[in-house]
Amino acid sequence: MKVGAVSPQNSLFRTYSQLSSGKRINSAKDDAAGFAIASRMRMQETGYKVGTDNAGMAIGASNVAEGALGGMSDYLQRIRELAVRSMNGINSDADKQVYQKEIDQLKQGIEGLARNTSFNEQKLLDGSMADMAVATSPSGGGMHIQMENSTLEALGIADLDVTSKDFSLDSIDKALDMVSERRSSLGASTNALQHTQNFNNSAAINQLSSRSRLEDLDFPKAIAKKKQDEVFGQYRMAMLRRQMDEKRKSAAALF
């Protein structure tokens, strides 16, 4: 047998292994180059799937943050309503104090949302996560989502007081604009992440399809090869038996 040639037994064993696994390539010895290419494809495919999962988690975090900002917007709308009421000239100083008392409670609600809104034990709106990196690609890259500081101090309404003589609605309106912009930004990020999920799913399917064409077994061809190897094996055994018979006859003739 030539060096490097595959014996009928080994060929038949390989064919049986391929038929049992359904794969043409089960190890590097089956096809070294194909094995390396398939491994890289599998790595890319896994990366796309993980990127899809990461994007899904980021969408969840964005939805939580956007919901909290929606609550802040409601609080701010009520604060503005009370502030406008307090600006009516018919109100006494005592009336303004009543309005301010409710406004202070609403401000506490805003601060509570900013300090306590979290996802996976990560604070989202207190300024500790200003830039959330999302690994959506197989290489670990991706996009960044801005999680702006939304505390009373950051919104500019920590010292809001309708009883003050120089009070104006400007700070409330600015805070409302800031919250609206942040909600819009999160909405845009969520849309981008959903598009990324769709792309990753499609890319993973294409990678799997390409890898399958490279790795998967051609069953009709493999079965034909199995039958061929079996016939060769039977022929080889027959020839070995014939050679042994001839040797025995030759040995018997010497006596």
Positions in the chain whose pLDDT score sits under 50? 1-5, 12, 219
Which pLDDT tens digit goes with each residue over 106-164? Answer: 999 999 999 999 999 999 999 998 889 999 999 889 999 989 999 999 999 999 999 99
Query: What would you measure as the largest C-alpha separation in the chain, in angstroms?
Result: 140
Handedness of CA 183, 186, 191, 197 (dihedral sign): negative
CA-based nearest residue to 145, from 125, 131, 124: 131
Give residue 114's pLDDT: 97
Q: Are the C-beta atoms of 137 and 143 separated by less than 8 Å?
A: no
Q: Is the pTM of this model over 0.85?
A: no
